[in-house]
Structure 1
Amino acid sequence: MRPFGEITELAAERAGGIDRLEDSLLKSRASSPTEIAAIPDDRILSEMSRRVFHAGFSWKVVDAKWEAFEVGFFGFDPNACAAMSEETFDALLKNKAIIRNGAKVRSVALNARFVLDLAATHGSASRAFADWPDTDYLGLLNLLKKRASRLGGQAAMRFLRSIGKSSFITTGGGVAALIREGVLDKAPSGVRDLQAIQDAFGDWQSESGRDFTAISRILAMSVAGADAGEPGPSSVYITPSLTQRQRETPGLGGRQDAGAQADSTLAPQAGG
């Protein structure tokens, strides 16, 4: 495992210079705990749900339908989603404006209850994620795997990246770089491999002063076909709340009752 300064030099060379590398990192930087804690919990649930629906489906299709998801799931209000009735669930499965996967639709209600549980303990779910030590990334992944619904593995990693949490993602160029550096001998497949990655990231963080997100992206960009599989700036976003978009977009309309909301269709808009 070489010093991280050398890996950064390799990434800068592939990026076209250190300034271009730093500019790319700035556009997808990790957020501060204060910034994460300021995210409303309906946006936390929205991003959890987006990553759940991304898994196994075309991201472009999911994102194009996300406006309809926001309407169908009450703007991802945790209290409303946690109390989802069977009638609303059935209506969502008939709603052609969203992706009608029963297990994933059900996961929204389950994750809403998880968000409410975090809020009851920490004041808000966003505060719980903000306060979690960056050095215990695996502990946070384990929390999501055990207590959330369908948020294991890369879905959890991508969710954490989307809300600005310092994170690594085990895919594409980043994994190739970890194998090149001797941290792994193959694609990660279990807790031991993830622990080896976290340990290596901890060493590189101590050396470079960079957070896990920056380290993850530099590793990916140090490999030919830079950033392959590593979410860049266009993948890091928080969708504005439904009520915020209603204020900003004439004609978007107000909140509807559960049954009507589940059957609503809006013109698809690309997320992010």
Structure 2
Amino acid sequence: MVLEKYEDIYHRAAERKGGEAKLEALLSTPLTKEQVAAIPNDRWLSAFSMKIFQSGISWSVVRNKWPNFEEVFFDFKIEPLLMLSDEQWDNKAADTRIIRHHAKVKSILANAQMIHEASLKHGSFGNMVANWPSEEITELWAHLKKYGNRLGGNTGPYSLRQLGVDTFILSGDVEAYLRNCKVIEGGRDTRRSLQAASKAFAQWQTESGRSLTQISQTIAFSSGDNRVLPPIE
């Protein structure tokens, strides 16, 4: 396997998107480590919970109802949620102000416990994430899957990206590109595939000095169906 140079990927993406300036306007800038560390625990829990509820449901429907979720779940403050009884959780799962899905509601408790335990060890959940080595980002995904609830697949990575954490995403376009290049062979979420993807992104990051977020977006823009329409003459 010969890995394509990031410069070639970038130029192809720029051509598809109408030039470098237009491509650059589409690329996101992740938060700094200091900014990630400053994210409160309740915002992590809110982001994880939103992505869990958006799985299999219209994202816009969930976003529109999210103020109700914030109200019902104490603005996702960890300590009050950990004090609720099983009966109180059952009542919240039946609350008509939110999307009623018992298993997803109970994931809020499980993920609150994960965040609380990480805070006891690292000072805050944000500190743990901020100090996670970028070349081992898929290990952070694995941590969320193992110690959290319903955070496997792309749910964990999308939650991190939503909050500004620097991570690549194995979206359909990115996964297809990595398979075409023989970086990923077999199951997408296997340890072998994730390590291979992480190694490839580390190489592109060394070449370009770009964030994982921007490299991931550039790959997506360089392939797949997201073509820019030709200008009207």
The residue number in structure 1 matching 2:49 is 49
Asked if 1:31 corresponds to 2:31, the answer is yes
For 2:116 and 2:146, the matched residues in 1 are separated by 16
Spell out the pairing of 1:88-99 with structure 2 (5 A cutoff). Answer: 88-99=88-99
What is the match of residue 160 of structure 2? Answer: 160
Taking the aligned partners of 1:3 and 1:226, their CA distance within structure 2 comes to 21
Aligned length: 225
Deviation at 1:166, TM superposition (A): 1.3
Q: Counterparts of 1:169 and 1:224 in 2: how far apart (Å)?
A: 15
Task: Write the letter of the residue equivalent to 1:115.
Answer: I
In the superposition, relative to structure 1, how do residues 15 and 215 fare at CA in structure 2: closer, same or farther (>3 Å)? same
Residues of 2 paired with 1:114 and 1:224: CA distance?
36
Q: Report how far residue 186 of structure 1 moved.
A: 6.4
Report what 1:197 is aligned to.
197
Sequence identity, in percent? Answer: 38
CA displacement 1:223-269 (0-9 Å, x = unmatched):
14228xxxxxxxxxxxxxxxxxxxxxxxxxxxxxxxxxxxxxxxxxx
Matches of residues 153-192 of structure 1 in structure 2 within 5 Å?
A: 153-185=153-185, 188-192=188-192
- Residue type at the aligned position of 1:23: A
Corresponding position: 1:9 with 2:11: yes
Deviation at 1:54, TM superposition (A): 1.4
Is the contact made by 2:186 and 2:193 (CA closer than 8 Å) also made in structure 1?
Answer: no
State which drifts further: 53-62 or 185-194. Answer: 185-194
Q: Classify the secondary structure of the residue corresponding to 2:214.
A: helix
Question: Which residue does 2:214 correspond to in 1?
Answer: 214
| Contact persistence 2:137–2:198 (CA under 8 A) | yes
TM-score normalized by the length of structure 1: 0.79
Please list every run of 5 or more consecutive structure 1 residues that lacks an aligned counterpart in the other structure: 228-272
State the secondary structure of the residue aligned to 2:154.
helix
**TM-score (ref. length: structure 2):** 0.91
Contact 1:72 1:92 survives alignment (8 Å):
yes
Residue-by-residue CA offset, 1:112-168 (whole Å, 9 max, x unaligned) = 111111111111111111111111112111111111111111111111111211112
CA displacement at 1:189 relative to structure 2: 4.4
What amino acid maps onto 1:97 in structure 2? Answer: R
**Which residue number in structure 2 is paired with residue 74 of structure 1?**
74
2-structure distance, mates of 1:124, 1:48: 16
Deviates more, 1:167-176 or 1:143-152: 167-176
- The farther-off stretch of 199-208 and 161-170 is 161-170
SS of 1:19's partner is helix
Q: Partner of 2:150 in structure 1? A: 150
CA contact (8 A) 2:53 2:104 kept: yes
Once the two structures are overlaid, the 10-residue window that deviates more, 96-105 or 69-78, is 96-105
Q: Distance in 1 between matches of 2:77 and 2:189?
A: 35
1:151 aligned partner, one-letter code: L
Q: Is the 8 A contact 1:82 1:110 kept in 2?
A: no
Q: Distance in 2 between matches of 1:197 and 1:207?
A: 15
Q: Which residue of the partner structure matches residue 255 of structure 1?
A: none
Gaps of 5+ in 2: 228-233
SS of residue matched to 2:97: coil
Whole-angstrom CA distance in 1 between matches of 2:93 and 2:45: 19
Cα-Cα RMSD? 1.6
Matched with 1:18 is: 20
State the alpha-carbon separation in 2 of the partners of residues 159 and 111 from structure 1. 13
Other-structure match for 1:138? 138
Residues 181-206 of structure 1 deviation map (CA, whole Å, 9 limit, x = unaligned): 33235672422111111111011111
Change in 2 beyond 3 A, CA 1:80/1:87:
same
Query: Structure 2 counterpart of 1:44, which letter?
Result: W
1:83–1:109 Cα contact (<8 Å) kept: no
